[in-house]
Amino acid sequence: MNTNDTITTPTTATPDAERITVRSHGTHAFWGEVSGVPAIPATIDEVTPGWLTGALHAGGVEAVVEALEIEPVGVGVGIMSLLFRLTPVYGSGSGPGSIILKMAPPYEQVRAIAAGYGFYEREVEIYRTLGDKVGLRPPALHYADHDAATDDFVLLMEDFGSLRSCDQLDGCSPADARAIVTALAEHHATWWADDRLETLPFIHPWADPPYPQYHLASTTQQWPVVMERFGQLVPDRIRALGDRWAEIGPALMEDGPNHPCTLCHGDVRLDNVFFRDGEDDPISVVDWQIAGVAPGSTDLGYFMSQSLTVADRRAHERDLVHLYHDTLVAGGVTDYPFGELWDDYRRTILFCLSYAMGVCAVELANDRAEALATAMLERSIAAIIDLDADELVP
């Protein structure tokens, strides 16, 4: 979820923490098609100096890559994509010193989820057309492509490796949480009930088909897996919700247009946030695959319930939701009372059970992924119970 994300199963081509160096063999036959567009790599083995040269040329960078160091990054951080850092050596011209490459994984279960929701196409189009307009300062784009027939995609982006980041498992400090909540509200205010949201073909309301229907199909399969793997963590009160999620989840999504909507990122959690300390815009957020039109509380509730420890959320929750509301008002949103926001926030807390459900149901092939899934489920359960969010079941 998922730029700071990668599949939880380590790639066989470049195991976690292993670096490989690929060198040119005296040729730059990098064009994958007659049109001059480099072919989308199906595996990381197809990312060669020649391929990267072609991609950079297509993105407007006139440089020739002679050698290329590749290392996986973020293993165990996310779910839906593979992520690598490319460090090129240029034979002529100049280009980025390091580049983040994001691509589709070879795992059928994950690919099916991504195709059902249109994750890969959406993220490519957001970077291509809205990269400097969405707020939350996403990474600069060097090159992007998507194949509608295969759903393969590739993104070459600015490397945020030098920026400060935090571990979602550790939880967000109150100070960092204030910075993130402020940035979220400023972004949401910019797109609040904006007519542009109706003109972008790759941005859809989460309430529209096929999203509630696909949510129904996927969560119906996921809940039994969650109970098999993590049932010991699920109290009866939450089990009752999960058992009815086939009706609850889609109903919550379809209810979205009854509440003020904006452009939501959809996956604002600490693993996807980078901090630019001391700058005017101190927050950058990566991984725009899930972005769509939904109530602004969707991003707020997901961040609060998944990226703060239970203790910190309980201690600072009300103040942070007030901060979000105050920032919306300062950004021109004057017809949204705090009480209405609070109910929308609680409704999001209820819906966030589905995020934990999705993570807990996929293959978790390393310790970090297992710990992240456990934390997401435990934090979601605690938030639902603390806020009596199940009172808002449609």
Q: What is the pLDDT of residues 65-101, one digit of tens each?
A: 999 999 998 765 556 889 999 999 999 999 999 999 9
Residue 10 has pLDDT above 50, yes or no: no
pLDDT, tens digit, for every residue of 318-358? 999 999 999 999 999 999 999 999 999 999 999 999 999 98
Residue 74 is predicted with a pLDDT of 72
Its pTM stands at: 0.87
Which two tokens mark 137?
């300062």
Number of H helices, E strands in the chain: 12, 10
CATH topology of domain 174-392: Aminoglycoside 3'-phosphotransferase; Chain: A, domain 2 (3.90.1200)
Supply angle C-alpha 24, 30, 35, rounded to 5: 170
What sign results for the dihedral spanned by CA atoms 312, 317, 318, 319? Answer: positive
Ranges of each domain in the chain? 20-158, 174-392
Spatial contact of 54 and 78, defined as CB atoms under 8 Å apart: no
The CATH label, of 3.30.559.10, 3.30.950.10, 2.60.40.420, 3.30.200.20, for the domain at 20-158 is 3.30.200.20
> For 123-181, how does the pLDDT look when each residue is reduced to its tens digit (9 = 90+)?
999 999 998 888 899 999 999 999 999 999 999 999 999 999 999 999 999 999 999 99
How many Cβ atoms from other residues are within 10 Å of residue 190's Cβ?
Answer: 15
Q: Quick one: tokens of 201?
A: 């073909």
What the block records as the tokens of 381 is: 């359960």
